[in-house]
Each structure stands twice: as structure tokens, then as C-alpha cells.
Amino acid sequence: MDNITKKLMQRSESTRKDTIGRAISMTALILIAIVVVSIFVFVLSRGLSTFYKDGVNVKYFLFGTTWNPSVTDPATKKPYIGALPMILGSFLVTFLSAIVATPFAIGTALFMTEIAQKRGAKIMQPIVELLVGIPSVVYGFIGLTVVVPVIRTIAGGSGFGILSGTIVLFVMILPTITSMTVDTLKSVPRHYRESALAIGATRWQMIYKVVLRAATPGILTAIVFGMARAFGEALAVQMVIGNAALMPHSLTTPASTLTSVLTMGIGNTVMGSLQNDVLWTLAMILLIMSLVFNLIVRAIGRRGAMK
Amino acid sequence: MKAKTADKIATGFIYAISGIVALILFAMLSFILVRGVPHLSWHFLTSPARAFEAGGGVGVQLFNSFYLLILAMVISFPIALGAAIYLNEYAKKNYFTAIVRTAIEILSSLPSVVVGLFGFLLFVVQFKLGFSILSGAIALTLFNLPLLTRSIETSLAQIPDLQREAGSALGLSRWETVLHVILPAAVPSIVTGVVLSAGRVFGEAAALIYTAGQSAPALNFGDWNPFNISSPLNPMRPAETLAVHIWKINSEGIMPDVNAVSAGASAVLIIVVLLFNFSARKLGMKLYKKLTSS
């Protein structure tokens, strides 16, 4: 009798294993959370030291138009660390590539879900997946050997610049936006389409007046994701943009983005120097922007869910 | 009929757009393959790179890429698997879960160059690992973790709850159910996810230029002791991968055949990534057929 009571009171072998398993899997999860927190702590602490340690004015940094950290401005006795050219360059390539990519992405997604469901998905699905899979350096290499020379012959100049960056990024973010748009279009209930067709709408009227309207929040989310990818893309852009930290005056003159200056600069500066700190501040801006894109996606999701 | 004309025009437009997208992909693939494949040879794939003269290969870089990929997968798979199991099997709908999910989402949307810089700051500088395979593998792990976790979680979520209920009905604990029922059933789609993520890791460069470094010292392929400095297995040596090599020689390469080398290297990279993409699905389907009675 005693033995049975003991057995009943004791935690079983299964329960013990379950506790251990739960603990192991939770540890893995917490590890990921710690990584995310430490990325923020480290990059923010280095990025903010430009303002704390080196006493740089935030406004001067964000809106200054001359970038040359190793040279001191004789008038103000401060180094040239205006980051506006790169910030502007990043935003320009991001918005332009999103503007170009969106119609292509929506068109392709409509083709796959509305026009030719079976054939379209069979042909375009692998194409979109292959486009996602191509590494960014290969995009950069193609940009360098095809896009840049073409633009050089058409527009003159060196061929490097915002336009080349936009074209390369357009192809890179196209599959991202397309596949997410396909998912939202698929989630539009079938009876929406049937009702529209039943009251005599043509297929295009059905797509334009019903399906696209219902899918708008999802499509916006897809575009923001594409923009986040474009904003953070480093090497492909760096290879074709020309890497001149100048205010972009035209689409075909060399410019630079936050990521291109970072990839070029970090290895050539000494840890802890002002020249190095300002680069970390650029990395911090990248980090904050990726957070902002996340928040926008969330806001769209909430707005879309409420209706 | 105006509406009908509009419908026809719009349909034509959508066809044209899809055609252009398909054309872009085929043009890019054929460009890379036509330019690159003629340069491929056994010599190109096995000999070390040369900095100043023509005739160099990508042997060391190719080896480094695979070695880094394997190390990164070995580190990231158990973590991702654990996290996915917790998220899908144990996590309740509470504050903690929501925060961690958000954290994973943020990590997956971070630019890979920021992940690389974090790796540089923490592992290369702080922990004094230097530009090394180990630092690179950890950076790749950080880059890979959120995507792999999500893909494994999706695989687990696809297993119907009926299986879990059956496990419970047999008196198995939740952990035992996961280990003996859910995981075996999810293996095919987990494998597909792992191989797909391997393709992505293989082509990643931005996270590596400041962690695994941009130099590829000559290796002695006769020496497999991981503690020797010239051994291919030494995890503390700097290791330029294939993707980094393409970037590097295009930005500052001075060898006379830089175009040929980068075309060849791009072709190798694309072929490997395509192989990963194709085999992912094939492997998953094969495993599915083998593991289930269907």
C-alpha cells in the first residue's frame, strides 16, 4: 500500500522529462530574445557615443550636408559629419524601388491568383522563389556588369548612382512584395469574388473594385516589408551606387546610402575614434529604421483587422 | 461595351507584367550561366585565388563557404528547433510569448549588415575571436535563427492536433509526444525548411565581411588537425567565402581576369543555391514518402 501511495505522490518519469524538455526549449527561445536585446544594447550604446562622448549636435549630424569625418571644418573646428547625403540616398533608393516594384508585384500576384490560377501559379511560383534565392552579391555583380554600363550609355556620366541602385533593388524586392501580395489575395474570401461576378462585374471590375480593396492592408504590409529589405540591403547597392557621400543632385550621379558607407568604412577606422563612432551612429539609424518599418507593419495590421 | 474593353486591356497588362518578370529572371540566370560556366573547370574550383595575376581559382573560398554553412547550421538548428517547439507546443497566449515573438520578428527584419556589425563588435572585438570562421558562423547563426525558427514552427503547426490528442490519450507527456509523434511526422517539411535556409546562408555576404573577414590564407588540405593554423578545419582562421569574394574582387580586385573570376564565382554560387532550392522540395517529398505509409 505504501508503495502505491509513494508512486502516486511522486512525479512520474514522464513529468520529469516534460519539465526538462520544456526548460530546454524555453532556454533556446530566451537565448534568441537575449540576442535581440543585446544587438540593440550594443549598437545603441556605440551609436549614441557620438552624441555623448564626442559631443556632436544631433541636428548637425542628421541635417549636415557634408560628410568627410577625417577632415575638420576650419570655420567651426568640427569634423564634417553631416549624414544627410546618406540618409537621403537610402530613402531615395528605397522609395523609388518600391514605387517601381509595386505595380509589377501586384500584376504578377494578380496573374497568379485571379487570371491564371493553375498555370500562373505553376509558372510564376518557382520564378518568384528563384528570385528570392539569388544572393545579393550576384544581383550586385549583374548590376555592375549590365545595369551600370547601360545607364552610362543612355544617360552619360559614370553610370553609378541612385538610378542603378533603384533598378537593382527593384528586382531584389520584387519577389518579397509579390509573394506576400499573393498570400493576401488568396486570403480574400471566395464569396467576395462570386458576389461581384454574380451582379455582372467583369473580371477586371471584380479585381479592381472588390479584391484589391479588400486586400489593401495586406498589400501595404507587403510593400513596407519590401521597403525594409531595400533600406537594409548593403552589398548589392554598394556595388552600383558609386559610393560618393555627396548630396544626390541627379539620379545618375554617384551617391551613397547608409549601408554602403558602413560597409566601406568600418574596416578602415579605429575603434573608439570619432570617425568610427559616427559610422556606428549610421548603423543605429539603420536599426531604428528597421524598427520603424516593423511598427508601420503592425499599425497597418491593426487598422486592417478593425474594419 | 466599355467595361469589357477595360477588362481586356487590364488582362493584357497583367499578362505583360508577368511576362516581363519571368523574362527578367531568365535573362539574369542565362546571363550568369552563359558568362560564368565557360570559366568553370576543375582547376578553377580547386585552386586558390591569385591577387595580382590571371588564372586564380576559388577553391579555398568554396571550401570556406561550405565549412561556414555547416558550422552555422550545426549551431543554429538546435536553438531554432528548441525555440520552435516551445512556441508551438508549450507557449500560452501571454505577455511573455508576445514579446518573444516580436523579438524574433524584429531579428528577422534586421538588415544583415547590422547583424554582421554586431558580430564584429561582440565576437571579433570584445571576445577577441578576431576575424575567424567561428565569429562568422555565429553571425550567420544570428542571421539564420529567426527564419529557421519560423519555418520549423510552421512545420510543427501543420501536424494536426489529432496526433497530440492521441499522444495524450496514450499517457505520453507533452514532451514525449513532441519527441516521438510530432517531430517524426514533421521531419519532411523541417528538412525542406533547413535546406532552403541553407541556400540563403550560403549566399550571404554582408554579415560576413566583418566577422569571417575578407582574406583567405592558403590552406594545407593534407592537414586535418583543427588546431593547426593552416588546417582547413581550424575555426579560428579568417575565411573569405565565395559570396564575399565576389563582392571583394568587384569592389577592389586588381587581377587582370577579375571579370572572368567573378562571372565564374557567381555561376558557382547560383548553381549551388539553385541546387539547394531544387533539392529542398525533392528531399522533403522523398522523406515524406519514406516515413509515412502513403
Q: Which domain holds residue B84?
A: 40-291
pLDDT, tens only, A47-78: 888 888 777 778 888 888 888 777 777 777 77
* DSSP annotation of A69: E
pLDDT of A252 > 90? The answer is no
Euclidean distance between CA atoms B83 and A27, whole angstroms? 8
ipTM, 2 decimals? 0.88
Euclidean distance between CA atoms A166 and A99, whole angstroms? 10
Q: Distance of alpha carbon B8 from its chain centroid, rounded?
A: 42
Contacts of A20 in chain B (CB under 8 A): 175
pLDDT, tens only, B85-97: 999 988 888 888 8
pLDDT, tens only, A201-221: 888 999 998 999 999 999 999
Give mean pLDDT, residues A263-285: 83
Give mean pLDDT, residues A7-19: 82
Helix (H) or strand (E) holding A172: helix A162-187
Of A110, A91, A73, which is closest to residue A227 (Cα–Cα)? A91
Mutation pick from A94, A138, A202, A273 vs chain B, by most beta carbons of B within 10 Å, is: A138
Asked if the Cβ–Cβ distance from B78 to A28 is below 8 Å, we say: yes
Contacts of B33 (CB under 8 A, 6+ apart): B267, B270, B271
Domain contains B29: no
Euclidean distance between CA atoms A260 and B47, whole angstroms? 31
**Rg, Å, chain A Cα set:** 26
Is residue B283 within 8 angstroms of chain A, CB to CB?
Answer: no
Number of domains chain B is built from: 1
Q: How confident is the model at residue B53, as a pLDDT?
A: 67
Check residues A120 and B189 and name the one with the higher pLDDT. B189
Q: How confident is the model at residue B173, as a pLDDT?
A: 87
Domains of chain A by start residue, with CATH: 84-306 (1.10.3720.10)
Main-chain phi, psi angles of A67, to 5 degrees: -120, 110
pTM to 2 decimal places: 0.89
Mutation pick from A46, A132, A134 vs chain B, by most beta carbons of B within 10 Å, is: A134
Q: Decide: A179 and A155 in contact? Cβ < 8 Å.
A: no
DSSP string, B46-113: HSPP-SSSS----HHHHHHHHHHHHHHHHHHHHHHHHHHHIIIII--SSHHHHHHHHHHHHHHHS-HH
* DSSP annotation of A70: E
Asked if the Cβ–Cβ distance from A138 to B206 is below 8 Å, we say: no
- Return the CATH number at B173: 1.10.3720.10
Asked if the Cβ–Cβ distance from B259 to A145 is below 8 Å, we say: yes
Domain contains B35: no
Q: For chain A, list the strands marked E by DSSP.
A: 67-73, 78-81
Domain contains B2: no
Q: Which of residues 3-22 of B touch A (CB under 8 A)?
A: 3-4, 6-7, 10-11, 13-15, 17-18, 20-22
Q: Distance of alpha carbon B33 from its chain centroid, rounded?
A: 21
- Average pLDDT over all residues of chain B: 86
Domain contains B14: no
Euclidean distance between CA atoms A278 and A108, whole angstroms? 42
Asked if the Cβ–Cβ distance from A142 to B205 is below 8 Å, we say: no
Domain contains B209: yes
Euclidean distance between CA atoms A264 and A254, whole angstroms? 15
Euclidean distance between CA atoms B101 and B96, whole angstroms? 9
Domain contains B31: no
Give mean pLDDT, residues B141-164: 92
Euclidean distance between CA atoms A141 and B31, whole angstroms? 11
Q: Decide: A33 and A260 in contact? Cβ < 8 Å.
A: no
Cell 553631416, located at residue: A82
Domain contains B197: yes
Give mean pLDDT, residues A221-240: 91
Instruction: Give the pLDDT band of residue A274 (cuts 50, 70, 90).
Output: confident
Q: What share of chain A is helix, strand, coil (3-state, %, to 5)?
A: 80, 5, 20
Q: How confident is the model at residue B294, as a pLDDT?
A: 55
Asked if the Cβ–Cβ distance from B86 to A107 is below 8 Å, we say: no
Domain contains B22: no
Q: Decide: B233 and B226 in contact? Cβ < 8 Å.
A: yes
Contacts of B66 (CB under 8 A, 6+ apart): B202
Grid cell in block for residue B204: 550571404
Q: How confident is the model at residue A306, as a pLDDT?
A: 45
